[in-house]
Amino acid sequence: MLTLEHMDAAIEKALKDLKLPSRAGAVIAAVVAREVVKELGQLEARLGQLERDALVWSGAWEPAKTYARNDLCQRGAALWLALVDVKAGDVPPGASASWRRLADSK
């Protein structure tokens, strides 16, 4: 995993290799660090979105279970995807627009 210490060391080494005056090196290091932090922030936001959108297998459908958006379950011979959060006791897959059938083993 890339840490700030690794990044600082890599920038410092690159600046020494370039043999730039210390002031110029500091300016370049600051610009590079700012861009890296910006890019890492965007990557962290995208990763968070991907994690929220991940599909989660929940096994066989159970009426007493609460399902989150993107949970997968099996009911009968079909594989179902929860399109929204579904509270325990709500209608089963196939009986409302809260679910989408993804596959059928028939």
40 and 73, same domain (yes or no):
no
Q: Provide the domain limits for residue 25.
A: 4-52
36 and 60, same domain (yes or no):
no
pLDDT at 1: 58
**What's the pLDDT tens digit per position in 28-80?**
878 888 888 888 888 988 888 888 788 999 999 999 999 999 999 999 999 99
pLDDT at 40: 87
43 and 77, same domain (yes or no):
no
What does the radius of gyration of the chain's CA atoms come to, in whole angstroms? 25
Contacts of 90 (CB under 8 A, 6+ apart): 96, 98
CATH code for position 67:
2.10.10
DSSP state of 77: T
- Nearest C-alpha neighbor of 81 from the set 50, 63, 57: 57
Alpha-carbon dihedral sign for residues 29, 31, 35, 41: positive
36 and 73, same domain (yes or no):
no
pLDDT at 89: 93
What three-state secondary structure class fits 73? strand
DSSP state of 15: H
63 and 45, same domain (yes or no):
no
Q: Where are the alpha helices (DSSP H) in the chain?
A: 4-18, 22-52
Provide the number of structural domains found in the chain: 2
- Would you say residue 3 has pLDDT above 80? no
Strand partners, 100: 81
